[in-house]
A = this chain, B = another copy of it.
Amino acid sequence: MRSSVWRPERATSNCSNKPVGSGPSSSRSGRRRWPTRSGGDLPAGTKLVWGEEGLIEAAAGAGADYVVCALLGSLGLKSTLAAIDAGATIGLANKETLVTAGHIVMRRAAERGVPLLPIDSEHSAIFQCLNGEDRGTIRRLVITASGGSFRDRGRGELAGVTVEDALKHPNWSMGAKITIDSATMANKGLEVIEAHWLFDLPYDRIDVMLHPESIVHSMVEFVDTSVMAQLGNPDMRVPIQYALTYPERRPSPASPLDLLRAGTLHFKDMDFARYPCLKMAYEAGRAGGTAPTVFNAANEVAVARFLNREIPFLAIEDIIASALAAHEAIPEPDLEEIAFADGRARDAAARWRK
């Protein structure tokens, strides 16, 4: 049984090369100041760690029974594996960990008997739909997609869109990277690959459906034709809390869903020609090995370059396509091979010119 009282042991920032420290324990009296980044003036008993080693120590060295992995991008892989090795239950908010190394992470978690609890709203929805169900009776998953900032524009209208336009997500308030990934549907592609690993299903049993209202967070169809769906307002506090309280549910400060106010829910077929990044994600997922790593790395650099106003919006997909075309697949890669493929794809994406 997990204790029903949480005592956070460590919190780290998501900057990989800046020093971070463990926070003051909530159960300890005395001075409660976070360590400064310069490392001076630490409260007694506080240890300053930084870099990848610091992340690993924070994730695995504190004896925590629950570690939330919420780093952005592919940074979180080694510390997540360290937390798994330490036997901690993992709350996984970092898509790239499974996208780049799903075969390693899932095997390691299974060997250690460590639960991997999804925090992404779509995967949390699927996870909730699977409550009390036999996973062998899943017919398919349906991941819903809002369509992102430009869902009402055709491909012809995307050439000149600005960073500011792209950052206006219709439903969710999120960081810049994921908001752009929603507009290109690369985010949904990462989610499909993540779902493949989390729920152990082949890609032809993971579908994506456009659902502009973002109220049905995802669905599971079973062999008896029953479809279970999880609905709610777009509010990340709910899936985050669920991963932390699972298998319990606790009252949430989020607003209850007012389905009468929403009134109408729309569902539309995914248009892969309109969203080639999703198509490439499926292809990379099916190719397996290092292909998803290359998809993800090229996308990360391309989005950064778009946000930096170096390239137009539509070049994001060109950069991913070019990286995948140049990539030589390595099946069942180890961490070193993943890192190498990641680095090479990033270099190529950074150098890409029209």
Contact = CB atoms under 8 A, between A and B. Distances in A.
A257 B238 CA distance: 27
Taking residues whose C-beta sits less than 8 angstroms from the other chain, chain A's interface range is 35 or more
A228 interface: yes
A263 B252 contact: no
A241 interface: yes
Interface stretch (A57-65, A131-139, A150-158, A161-169): A131-139
B248 A226 contact: no
Given A230-B228, A238-B226, A241-B224, A265 B264 contact: yes
Contacts of A223: 249-252
A259 B228 contact: no
A235 B224 CA distance: 11
Contacts of A132: 131-133, 247
A352 interface: no
B249 A134 contact: yes
Contacts of A133: 131-132, 249
Nearest to A138: B249
Interface string A34-54: 000000000000000000000
Contacts of A209: 259-260
Given A222-B249, A224-B242, 4 more contacts: A225-B233, A225-B235, A228-B228, A262-B267
Closest 8 CB pairs of A and B: A132-B132, A131-B132, A227-B231, A137-B249, A224-B252, A265-B265, A224-B249, A225-B254
